[in-house]
Amino acid sequence: MAAPDVPVSLSAKYALIDDHWSPKIVAEFNGNHVKLVKVEGTFEWHTHDDTDEVFMCLGGELVIEVDGREPAHLAAGDLYVVPRGVRHRPIASEEALIAIVEPADTPNTGDEATAAEESWI
């Protein structure tokens, strides 16, 4: 799917998401994807060896445990970057709305098998 040529309402897109930990692509720029994901619970520890990962919290709260750093506590309106090669684990005690930015085809867990599962909404 081509990048949309009209503005994308993030709240309208979130309304279309009914699962957790399954990022959906909403925009593309310079070979990067902007993805929206609803999260709840504890994700697995993983590492992206070749890319930094941007997290923006748009609703709820997200904790990101990060090797070698204090856990990052994100509330709505907070932005956080996990550097490449740094192991991390996102945790949301209640449902949170997250936007991530990363290169197209970056796997969800650092495992390439998960990249193909992602799709535009």
Q: Which of 42, 52, 91, 109 binds its own copies (CB under 8 A)?
A: 52
Contact 116/39 with Cβ under 8 angstroms? no
- Kindly state whether residue 92 participates in binding its own copies, applying the rule CB under 8 A: no
d(C-alpha 103, C-alpha 13), whole Å: 20
- Kindly state whether residue 16 participates in binding its own copies, applying the rule CB under 8 A: no
Q: Which of 17, 20, 22, 28 binds its own copies (CB under 8 A)?
A: 28
Residue with tokens 């535009």: 120
d(C-alpha 99, C-alpha 120), whole Å: 14
* Candidate ranges 7-15, 37-45, 87-95, 107-115; the one touching its own copies (CB under 8 A): 7-15
Strands 119-120 and 53-59: unpaired
Q: Which of 17, 22, 78, 120 binds its own copies (CB under 8 A)?
A: 78
Q: How far is the CB of 39 from its own copies (least distance, A)?
A: 16
Contact 120/16 with Cβ under 8 angstroms? no
What is the 3-class SS of 32-49, one letter each residue? EEEEEEEEEEECCCECCC
- Kindly state whether residue 98 participates in binding its own copies, applying the rule CB under 8 A: no
- Kindly state whether residue 69 participates in binding its own copies, applying the rule CB under 8 A: yes
Residue numbers of the site for its own copies (CB under 8 A)? 3-11, 26-30, 32, 34, 51-54, 58, 69-70, 72-75, 77-81, 83-84, 101-103
